[in-house]
Amino acid sequence: MFSGVLALIAVLIFLARFLREPRRFGNAVWFGVALVLTGLWLLGLLGGVSWLQTVVLVLAGVLALMSALVLPWALVANGVVMWRREGHRLANLLSLLAGLAMLALYGVTVTALRFAHPQWLVVVALSALLIAGYLAFVFSALLLYSVLYSRMKRRARADAVIVLGSGLLGDRVPQLLANRLDRAVAFWRRCPDALLVVSGGQGSDELRSEGAAMADYLVAAGVPVAQIVVEDRAATTDENLRYSVALLRERGFTGRVLAVTNNYHVFRTAVLARRLGLRLDVIGARTASYFVPSAFLREFVALLVQYRKTNAAACFVLAAGPVAVALLS
C-alpha cells in the first residue's frame, strides 16, 4: 500500500511538471523516480504469486549481469569506431572512456570484495559504486525521457526554421549535418513560405563557415536564396539559438520558430532554449547508429555540467557516506 502511494505521488509530480513545462532537466529525474517506484509497487503486487515474482527477479538479475558483462566492452568497441570514423577529439572518445571507467570500477570492486583489506580500498569501492549508481540512474532517466520528448508531436507549421550546425569536414557538409538539413528541407516543402536559418561559424579545422556551406546545400536542394538566412558566427548550441533568433528579430520577424537538430540533441536544445527564455519547438533528424552511444553520452555530460552544482552536491554526499561510516566505526 505504502509503495503504491509513493509511486502515485511520483507519477503525479512528474505529470504536473511535464504538463507545465516539458523542457526541464528535472522532468527526466522525476520520470526515472516514477518508473522505479511504479516498478517496485508492481513487484510487490506479485508477492502473492511466488513463481511469477521469482521469474521477474531472475530475469532482472540476468539482464543486470549481462549489462555488466557486455556493456563495458560494447562501449569500448564503439569508442574505437568513433576514433576511426569521427576523429580523435575528446568528445568522440566518451564511449571509450566510459567503458574503461566501468571496467576499472569492476576491478576495484572485485578486489575490495576479495580481500576486504585495506579498509580504505573498501571505502573507495563503496563510494565509487554509489556515485556510479547515481550517474547510471540519471543517465537512464535522461535517455528514456529524451526518447519520450523527441517523439512528442511538434507544431505542424512554423514561420522560420533554425538549423543548428554540427561541424564540417573541411568545406564539406558531413552526413550528420546533412540529415538536419534534409529534415529542414522536408519541412520547408510542407511550409514553402518559411524562412530557413542556417547557423554555424568557422572552426579551426574548417575551410569555410558552417552557415555558408549549409546555405549552399539548401540552394542545391531547391530552396530559394531569398528564404535562407545565414548566421556564421556561432560556435555552441547556445550561440546557435541566440544569434539566429537575433537575426530574425532584426528582420522584424515575430512568427513561430522551430529548431532542427539530431534526435539525440533535441532534449538538451529544448532545455537550453527554455533557460534562454526562447519560445520555440525542437525537432530531430535521424542519426547513424554507431554515433548514438557517444552522442547520448556527450549530451549527458553537457547536462551534468549545466547543472553542475546539483550533481556535484549529490556525488559529494554519496561519496562522503562510506567515509563517514568508516570514520565513526
Domain extent listing, the chain: 49-151+307-328, 160-287
Contact 288/189 with Cβ under 8 angstroms?
Answer: no
Taking the C-alpha atoms of residue 118 and residue 134, their distance in angstroms, rounded to an integer, is: 25
Q: Is the dihedral of CA 218, 222, 224, 225 positive or negative?
A: positive
**Residue 153 has what pLDDT?**
64
CB burial string 28-53: b at 16+ within 10 A, e below = bbbbbbbbbbbeebeeeeeeeeeeee
Regions of the chain with pLDDT less than 70: 47-49, 51-53, 116-117, 153-156
Contact 33/7 with Cβ under 8 angstroms?
Answer: no
**Residue 116 has what pLDDT?**
65
**Residue 54 has what pLDDT?**
75
Taking the C-alpha atoms of residue 106 and residue 102, their distance in angstroms, rounded to an integer, is: 6
**Residue 49 has what pLDDT?**
67
Nearest CA to 158 among 120, 191, 181, 121?
191
Helix (H, G, I), strand (E, B) or coil at 163: strand
Q: Which residue has the cell 576479495?
A: 114
Class of domain 160-287: alpha beta
**Residue 48 has what pLDDT?**
65
